């Protein structure tokens, strides 16, 4: 039985992961560390009475908070971060402080507490200006945003800590994750919740650019599956690696909107806006490495994920108000 510290557990991915960990028979405690800067208290409300659940409110940029959070823990799932390329361009200082300094605090506090393994949220943004498709873990380009820099530096620190302190790290490069509990609100909301919220409000969503940019959209349950496999893998070859975590399918923004229209039964037409700074044109993952070493099985397709997500948004119209 393992006690797990889950940073960023009130966030979109973190809260979905928390639900799965609480249901896992190998887990006897899940301690959430979150400052609720981008996470939501309502994401954790269903777990409040659970015997395995703990909540520690605090910020990973405070080393003492990180040190306290490690007490009695066996494993760390590090999901806490300030996401969004545009946010990092608008405020690189805060993105750096959270994603780099905060991560070093987590890694160091875990090492000091004798915790052997950390699974951390990396990012497909690390591929930067590399034009090769599909993306394979060993071929990256130059970062195109401060956010991309911070996520790559997390990987570099993980590699150094693994070799220096005899620790185990597993980095998961997420590709455009979507699903329930992902907020459509705020200046840095992701494209799928924005589109779904617009369609539910019978409003035309705005596509950045001409709609030809493509992404490997990945339903959150696939990501949760990868995290749990990484936390508990007994394959010694699987640790101290980074993995693409995606579905392995390319979808343009125009195709994405068409899929959402079909799910919603809508005849809305999109509007078009300027391209966003820092955006890469195309992103598609090769997930063979994760399948081979982690036993990763991305079983939920983009279309099936969109159906599930749309039902959730339709049933939870006031969730983020």
pLDDT of residue 99 exceeding 90, the answer is: yes
Token pair recorded at residue 138 = 């060993």
Query: Taking the CB of residue 241, how many other CB atoms lie within 10 A of it?
Result: 20
* CA distance to 6, 76, 104, 165, per residue, from 66 (Å): 11, 11, 10, 18
List pLDDT tens digits, range 251-280: 999 999 999 999 999 988 888 888 877 677
Which residue, among 265, 260, 225, has the nearest Cα to 245 in the 3D structure? Answer: 225
List pLDDT tens digits, range 35-47: 999 999 999 999 9
pLDDT at position 278 is 65
Mean pLDDT to the nearest integer, 206-219: 92
Burial letters 23-32, b for 16+ CB under 10 A, else e: ebeebebbbb
Q: Which helix (H) or strand (E) holds 12?
A: helix 12-22
Q: What is the CA radius of gyration of the chain?
A: 19
pLDDT at position 204 is 84
List residues with catalytic annotation: 147
pLDDT at position 205 is 86
Torsion of CA 193, 296, 9, 71, to 10 degrees: -170
- Cβ proximity of 6 and 18 under 8 Å: yes
Confidence of residue 321 (pLDDT cuts 50, 70, 90): confident
> Nearest 5°: CA angle at 309, between 6 and 128?
65
pLDDT of residue 249 exceeding 90, the answer is: yes
List pLDDT tens digits, range 53-74: 999 999 999 999 999 999 999 9
Token pair recorded at residue 165 = 């302190």
Which ranges in 201-290 belong to alpha helices (H)?
Answer: 220-232, 253-264, 288-289
**How far is residue 3 CA from its own chain's centroid?**
21
Mean pLDDT to the nearest integer, 196-222: 92
Start-to-end CA distance of the chain, whole Å, equals 38
pTM of the predicted model as reported, rounded to 2 decimal places:
0.94
Computed over every residue of the chain, the mean pLDDT equals 94
Which residue, among 219, 228, 217, 124, has the nearest Cα to 181 in the 3D structure? Answer: 219
Domains and CATH numbers, the chain: 2-179+217-248+286-299 (3.40.50.720)
Could you give the 3-state DSSP secondary structure of residue 28? strand
pLDDT at position 83 is 84
Indicate the length of the chain as a whole number. 321
| Distance from C-alpha of 122 to C-alpha of 85, rounded to nearest angstrom | 14
pLDDT at position 118 is 98
List pLDDT tens digits, range 103-135: 999 999 999 999 999 999 999 999 998 989 999
| Distance from C-alpha of 54 to C-alpha of 64, rounded to nearest angstrom | 18
């Amino acid at each position: 039985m393992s006690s797990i510290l889950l940073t960023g557990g009130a966030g979109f991915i973190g809260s979905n992961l928390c639900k799965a960990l609480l249901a896992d028979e190998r887990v006897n405690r899940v301690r959430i560390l979150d400052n609720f800067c981008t996470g939501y208290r309502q994401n954790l409300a269903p777990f409040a009475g659970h015997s395995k659940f703990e909540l520690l409110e605090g910020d990973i940029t405070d080393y003492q908070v990180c040190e306290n959070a490690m007490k009695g823990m066996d494993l760390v799932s590090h999901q806490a971060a300030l996401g969004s390329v545009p946010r990092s361009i608008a405020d690189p200082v805060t993105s750096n402080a959270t994603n780099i300094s905060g991560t070093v605090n987590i890694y160091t506090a875990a090492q000091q507490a004798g915790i052997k393994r950390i699974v951390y949220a990396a990012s497909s943004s690390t591929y930067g200006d590399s034009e090769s498709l599909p993306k394979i873990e060993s071929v990256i380009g130059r970062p195109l945003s401060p956010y991309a820099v911070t996520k790559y530096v997390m990987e570099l620190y993980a590699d150094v800590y693994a070799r220096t302190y005899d620790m185990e790290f597993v980095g998961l490069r997420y590709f455009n994750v979507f699903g329930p509990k992902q907020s459509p609100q705020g200046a840095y909301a992701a494209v799928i919740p924005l589109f779904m919220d617009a369609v539910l409000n019978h409003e035309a969503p705005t596509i950045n650019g001409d709609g030809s940019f493509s992404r490997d959209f990945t339903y959150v349950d696939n990501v949760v599956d990868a995290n749990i496999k990484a936390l508990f893998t007994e394959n010694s070859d699987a640790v101290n690696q980074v993995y693409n975590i995606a579905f392995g399918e390319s979808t343009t923004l125009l195709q994405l909107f068409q899929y959402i229209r079909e799910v919603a039964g809508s005849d809305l037409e999109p509007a078009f806006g300027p391209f966003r700074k820092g955006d890469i044109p195309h992103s598609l993952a090769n997930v063979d490495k994760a399948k081979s070493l982690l036993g990763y099985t991305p079983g939920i397709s983009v279309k099936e994920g969109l159906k599930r997500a749309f039902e959730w948004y339709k049933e939870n119209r006031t969730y983020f108000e």
